[in-house]
């Protein structure tokens, strides 16, 4: 069993607390992505699982064994670093076999394991090369190969795609996901890129300021964010978040537009200050739409058009599948897709409960 249990985990550097009591359950074979903005503690959390950072309090167990005081090499984990951390003086084959040699494996076993990993990752023709003679993508594969040969209980990835160009990143994203699924190894993957998190994860852990904001399946988090932070962090372009005021039967938007509620939420008390969330793809341009907006910028990407708008004093984004060519400054009406409104308490930032359907 290779489940990972993180219980009330805390980390402080002197008097500065960076991880404030985190609880995460990671099931065997699960691909869990830790995501959050820079400085949220995601890499620190991963490094604590790896044993590279001491734990201030709480516990981490891997496969049912508490590993708080176990050395990294004895935790049965393998880690892929952001800069790959390949030994520059060793060939690809030596890089991949180093851990096995240290573990005292026989030459035949090492050759077999390295050969199989090289086969899986398409590294066979590169085995005699040094890392300096490899491209970024190839180095990334070697780093993964080094992890695979050890057949660990848990793979740890620390922003492994950040150093690759956009195209290669998309390709490697699919490769890593496919590989981990094929091997069935429990994986913890750290990224600040929410698209990576959405596309790769079985389960996402959104971190902010050393705390867990929400844990769940990617679409569950996307459709039902627990608070304003998760709502704004997941999704690209980000969700429109506007300060609104509840009035009888609807919401008063910035600029004075009145938006009737769609019946998904219980009617809030008139006068209540709220934050309204609408995903950019849930807004449609409709001539007499209830949200009055002004076109600020039109960005055609080919497949989609991103329209930046102003709603009163606030800015917003509309994502359209069709072509759109209104001049900047045009007044337009926008209507939300039915059932797409998210409401958050303006003071606490927490999502308002949705009516049971």
Cα–Cα distance, 308 to 232 (Å, whole number):
16
Does residue 92 contact residue 129 with C-beta atoms inside 8 Å?
yes
Residue 98 or 324: which CB sits closer to another protein?
Answer: 98
In the complex, the smallest distance separating the C-beta of residue 51 from another protein, rounded to whole angstroms, is 8
In the complex, the smallest distance separating the C-beta of residue 19 from another protein, rounded to whole angstroms, is 19
Residue 54 or 81: which CB sits closer to another protein?
Answer: 81
Does residue 136 contact residue 164 with C-beta atoms inside 8 Å?
yes
In the complex, the smallest distance separating the C-beta of residue 55 from another protein, rounded to whole angstroms, is 16
In the complex, the smallest distance separating the C-beta of residue 118 from another protein, rounded to whole angstroms, is 17
Residue 99 or 188: which CB sits closer to another protein?
Answer: 99
Cα–Cα distance, 202 to 286 (Å, whole number):
37
Cα–Cα distance, 137 to 159 (Å, whole number):
14
In the complex, the smallest distance separating the C-beta of residue 179 from another protein, rounded to whole angstroms, is 19
In the complex, the smallest distance separating the C-beta of residue 74 from another protein, rounded to whole angstroms, is 8
For every residue of 77-115, which 3-state class applies, written as one string? Answer: EEEECCCCCCCCCCCHHHHHHHHHHHCCCCHHHHHHHHH
What would the DSSP string read from start to end of 153-213? SEEEEESTTTTS-HHHHHHHHHHHHHHHHHHT-EEEEEES-HHHHHHH-SEEEEEETTEEE
Residue 76 or 345: which CB sits closer to another protein?
Answer: 76
Residues of this chain that interact with another protein (CB under 8 A) are 50-52, 71-73, 77-79, 81-83, 85, 87-90, 98-99, 102-103, 130-132, 146, 150
CA dihedral (215, 219, 220, 224) positive or negative: positive
Residue 72 or 300: which CB sits closer to another protein?
Answer: 72
Residue 52 or 168: which CB sits closer to another protein?
Answer: 52
Residue 50 or 239: which CB sits closer to another protein?
Answer: 50
Closest CA to 96 of 79, 80, 110: 110
> Looking up tokens 């590279």, which residue turns up?
52
In the complex, the smallest distance separating the C-beta of residue 132 from another protein, rounded to whole angstroms, is 6
Strand pairing class (305-311; 291-300): antiparallel
């Amino acid at each position: 069993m290779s489940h990972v249990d993180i219980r009330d985990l805390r980390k402080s550097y002197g008097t500065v607390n960076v991880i404030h009591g985190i609880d995460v359950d990671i099931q065997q074979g699960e691909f869990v992505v830790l995501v959050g903005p820079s400085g949220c503690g995601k890499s620190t959390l991963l490094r604590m699982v790896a044993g590279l950072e001491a734990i201030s309090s709480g516990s981490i167990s891997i496969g049912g064994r508490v590993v708080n005081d176990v050395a990294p090499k004895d935790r049965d984990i393998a880690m892929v670093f952001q800069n790959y951390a390949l030994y520059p003086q060793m060939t690809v084959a030596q890089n991949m076999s180093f851990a096995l040699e240290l573990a005292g494996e026989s030459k035949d076993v090492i050759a077999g394991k390295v050969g199989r990993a090289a086969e899986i990752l398409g590294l066979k023709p590169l085995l005699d090369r040094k890392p300096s003679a490899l491209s970024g993508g190839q180095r990334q594969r070697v780093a993964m190969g080094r992890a695979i040969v050890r057949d660990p209980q848990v793979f740890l990835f620390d922003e492994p795609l950040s150093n690759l160009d956009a195209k290669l990143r998309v390709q490697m994203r699919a490769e890593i996901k496919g590989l981990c699924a094929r091997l069935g190894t429990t994986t913890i993957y750290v990224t600040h890129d929410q698209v990576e998190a959405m596309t790769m994860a079985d389960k996402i852990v959104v971190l902010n300021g050393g705390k867990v904001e929400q844990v769940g399946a990617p679409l569950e988090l996307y459709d039902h964010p627990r608070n304003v932070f998760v709502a704004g962090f997941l999704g690209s372009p980000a969700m429109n978040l506007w300060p609104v005021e509840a009035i009888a039967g609807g919401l008063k938007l910035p600029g004075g537009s009145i938006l009737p509620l769609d019946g998904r939420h219980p009617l809030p008390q008139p006068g209540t200050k709220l934050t309204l969330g609408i995903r950019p793809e849930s807004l449609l341009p409709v001539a007499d739409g209830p949200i009055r907006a002004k076109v600020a910028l039109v960005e055609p990407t080919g497949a989609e058009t991103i329209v930046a708008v102003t709603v009163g004093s606030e800015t917003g984004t509309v994502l359209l599948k069709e072509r759109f060519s209104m001049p900047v400054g045009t007044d337009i009406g926008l209507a939300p897709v039915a059932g797409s409104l998210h409401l958050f308490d303006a003071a606490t930032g927490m999502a308002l409960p949705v009516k049971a359907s």
